[in-house]
Structure 1
């Protein structure tokens, strides 16, 4: 155990707080791969983005290659340190093992020192009004102070096989989408829009819908959230010019912090299977037995 002591020190009980930790466990129906989560971190302006593989061994709804992208909004600082489960259960972290279970993702509400362990990476100097997050991985422990988090589940094989489609509103090409998500049985394809020259998509779609008498299912100006009914002039084209049509039409839903998605509703078979074989295959793999 000498290597653990060298990294984390030898003091145990006297440095571990005894006050109760109030927390929310985020990993309830999903978790990181227990063997090889392969953590990837990158800073996107003032956000921190984490990519990890999901635990497809424990949760049947996930399969090999499924990942989650966790965006920590307005992140002030973070730490990805080398404390593993052995060090944690030997009392080498500042948390009693009885207070939090190893291997989970938590939001700490109170009861734990917000001073992160080394090495600390600082994105912003002001960390006031930030939430405290901890994620225990197989061989590492992650902590950060951020305003909030958002989850985006995806399969890297599916994403790799996605084409890029043009998104057009009226006579204007407003951006592109990979249509990286799907409800294959219902013939639905949807995905985030990468906008061309549109700085505030919420205002853009809100103004268009009001001008063209399109009903909004939901509208929240504070969050810049919008959920539209079908927009007839909203169209999606393949790079060769073929329009991807759904019998129920196309709609927009999203918010500023998570992005805006276009949904194509009711694409008929067999075209759906020909155009999106990766989505059909991914759905079929969910029901394969070992």
Structure 2
């Protein structure tokens, strides 16, 4: 059994900390998560949007755990994850999967990985084969 660990995936970018305007769409087995990027602490322009694509996504869940609950120890991984407000790959999670907690798109693939993003007012988890980030200014391309 692999011990629970968290691989930090966004060292040089992050979501806007106060009002990220998170949106989630599903297109086949790809989940697209869009949000405003943090232009105060990272190299991003004001209004720039980040789009995470979870490719080969088998399931996802949107949890209402916010920063207050996490710091009070009531949120998902609140006593285990290194820091609130970050994007992680979760390795070694062995909690039971309750199907009614997740939006299931397909069975998990053998190479599936678990991803977790803590936004100010929400926590979003995805189980997918891979991920990518695209950046775009509103109205461009």
Give the TM-score normalised by structure 1: 0.45
Q: In the alignment, what sits opposite 1:38?
A: 21
Residues 30 and 55 in structure 1, CA contact (< 8 A), matched pair in contact too = yes
Q: Residues of 1 paired with 2:96 and 2:136: CA distance?
A: 31
Q: CA–CA distance in 1 between the matches of 2:63 and 2:114?
A: 16
Q: Equivalents in 1 of 2:98, 2:113: separation in Å?
A: 13
C-alpha change, 1:42 and 1:111, in structure 2 (3 Å) is closer
Asked if structure 2 preserves the Cα contact closer than 8 Å seen for 1:78 and 1:145, the reply is: yes
Matching residue within 113, 127, 136 for 2:108: 127
Larger relative contact order (Cα-Cα within 8 Å, sequence gap ≥ 6): 2
Aligned residues: 139
* 1:140 to 2:122 alignment: yes
Deviation by residue 1:65-111 (Cα, 9 ceiling, x = unmatched)? 10111110011111111100111122212424353311000011224
Q: Does 1:67 align with 2:49?
A: yes
Runs of 4+ in 1 over 6 A off after TM superposition: none
Q: Give the match's secondary structure for 2:68.
A: helix
Question: Mind listing any 5+ residue stretches in structure 1 that lack a counterpart?
Answer: 1-18, 160-179, 181-290
Q: CA deviation at 1:118?
A: 6.3
CA RMSD of aligned residues (A): 2.1
In structure 2, stretches of 5+ residues that fail to align are none
Q: Which has the larger radius of gyration?
A: 1
Distance 1:106 1:122, change over 3 A: same
Residue of structure 2 equivalent to 1:47: 30
